[in-house]
Amino acid sequence: MWTSKHIFIHDYKLVDVFLQENLLPLINRCALDKWFFIRYWQGGPHIRLRYKIKELQVKHDFEKELEDTLRDFQLEYQNEKFSEVSYDDRVVQLEGVKDLKVYPNFSIQDILYVPEVARYGGEEAVSFSEELFSYSSELASYVIQEIAWPKRYIIAFDVMFYSYKMAEKLGIAPAREVFFSNYNQVWSSFKDREELSKIQGLLQTRLEQLENKESIPKVYKKYFESMENNLKLIMEHQNVYTKETMYYILISHIHMLNNRLGLSPQNEYLLSRVFLKKGDYSNEVMGL
């Protein structure tokens, strides 16, 4: 059974700092048997950490160190000016969330982890997605600690490209235009033009480079090996999707890695547009 801790820090930039400088290094030092995380907004900006630790003493020590680490972080930022927690109505509507209670800043809450069973193919398949969540979190941990913005956009873009190639390899991919059009449509209410539009040309060049590469770069190999193995098991055990719609599980996994990296819905909208017709994307971003 997964232990679930929600770590509330009411500033998205400080959430990233805490991940980079505190939480992820702590996890690296500790012997967690399995773990994964996501970022979320409900109740205030926070990290949702899920983990399994067999040894009770190891679990106790990790949880105490987690509390101490957050307390030290709070002291470091005790003079920070925090804005009142507010919600983007588009996100609330997209997620269908009703409970908008706000939790205290710099707090750790024990909130039950409820897997999104249907989204990931049913009771028999969801554990394989959780396995992939762990590998996704490990990749995100490396990127967050070692790679600065805006290079994370390139990492996210690469993973989107190779995820589609994996769907092709497993025989569950529609046309690329269809795949990324469906991904893009999820975020269609987030068409705000922001800083990512400035690197649109770079991303288009990156797409051309990826199309000419013969193999997956080493930094991604462990993740995509896990993806291939676990997607095969999901295909075997899931009972929600047809073969033609199986790729929606992969779309969810792409989104979850982007979430872990800290990409906004606007980022996801713009990144996925690059895979569509270049002319349409360029006109939209440039306001032509």
pLDDT at residue 189, as a whole number: 85
> Confidence class of residue 67 from pLDDT cuts 50, 70 and 90?
very high
pLDDT at residue 263, as a whole number: 95
Mean pLDDT in the chain? 92
Report the pLDDT averaged over residues 88-92: 90
Q: 3-state class of 52 per DSSP?
A: strand
For the segment 208-237, what is each residue's pLDDT rounded down to a tens digit? 999 999 899 999 999 999 999 999 999 999
Ramachandran assignment for 106, one of left (phi > 0), alpha (psi -120 to 50 degrees), beta (any other): left
C-alpha distances in angstroms, 262 versus 41, 149, 176? Answer: 12, 10, 25
Res 278 pLDDT > 50: yes
Domain ranges of the chain: 3-110, 126-286
Res 193 pLDDT > 90: no
62-71, 118-127, 188-197: which range is least confident on average?
Answer: 188-197
32-41, 78-87, 183-192, 222-231: which range is least confident on average?
Answer: 183-192
Say if residues 3 and 59 touch (Cβ distance below 8 Å). yes
pLDDT at residue 72, as a whole number: 98
User: pTM of this prediction?
Assistant: 0.92
Report the pLDDT averaged over residues 70-92: 95
Res 25 pLDDT > 80: yes
pLDDT at residue 211, as a whole number: 94
Residues shown for the chain: 288
Res 287 pLDDT > 80: no
Res 109 pLDDT > 80: yes
> CA 55, CA 177: separation in Å to the nearest integer?
48
Report the pLDDT averaged over residues 266-271: 90
pLDDT at residue 201, as a whole number: 81
For the segment 122-172, what is each residue's pLDDT rounded down to a tens digit? 999 999 999 999 999 999 999 999 999 889 999 999 999 999 999 999 999
Highest CATH level, class, for 3-110:
alpha beta
Report the pLDDT averaged over residues 248-264: 97
Summarize the chain as % helix, strand, coil (round to 5): 60, 10, 35
